[in-house]
Amino acid sequence: MKKRAAIILMFIAALACMLCGCQRQSDRVAYNISKEADNFNVTRRLEVINARTDKPVFELIGNFAISNNSTNELEVTVEVGQGVYKKHMVYLNEWTIYVVEDVSGAYVDKYHYEVNFLPEMIVPVTVTMND
């Protein structure tokens, strides 16, 4: 009985491990594109449109990161130069919609990953030998 329970548990554990690693290629690429855009590497266009009149009320083209907070506003951080950033707040109501268009496209590699070590976070270690 114990042997059967152990085999069933091992089977369930193996099945869980196999299912945890499942991710569609499109999900990985979409994540990478979003990350590139948030790192100011993709030129995009933000258009805020009055849905009542079909007229644009705001347009922004450039390399920017965008987030939508809970108070119906967009927080847009724009890179305007090397290490120079500006932040815009776009307030939305029930008659405005927004569209973000990827203008330049992004090259992303689904096999690429990056490991960064921050030198200031590494504690130096001195190794001494006592003979």
pLDDT tens for 96-122 read 888 888 887 766 665 655 555 555 556
pLDDT of 4 strictly over 60: yes
- β-sheet bridge partners, residue 91: 73
Looking at residue 71, its pLDDT comes to 79
What values do phi and psi take at 121, rounded to 5? -95, -10
In a domain, 113, yes or no: no
Q: What angle do CA 3, 5, 9 make, to 5 degrees?
A: 115
**Which pLDDT value is given to residue 119?**
58
Residue 124 lies in a domain: no
User: Is 60 exceeded by the pLDDT of residue 17?
Assistant: no
Average pLDDT over residues 61-83: 85
For residue 129, what pLDDT is reported? 77
Looking at residue 59, its pLDDT comes to 87
Domain hosting 9: range is 2-107
Q: What is the pLDDT of residue 56?
A: 85
Q: Per the domain annotation, does 66 fall within a domain?
A: yes
95 assigned to some structural domain: yes
Total structural domains within the chain? 1
Question: Which phi-psi region, left, alpha or beta, contains residue 105 (left: φ > 0; alpha: ψ -120 to 50)?
Answer: left
| Structural domain includes residue 75 | yes
Helix or strand or coil: residue 14?
A: helix
Output the pLDDT for position 106.
Answer: 67
Report pLDDT for 72.
85
Mean pLDDT of the 61-70 span: 84
Establish if 115 belongs to a structural domain. Answer: no
Mean pLDDT, residues 63-75: 85
pLDDT of residue 12: 73
Is 130 a member of any domain? no
Domain presence at residue 131:
no
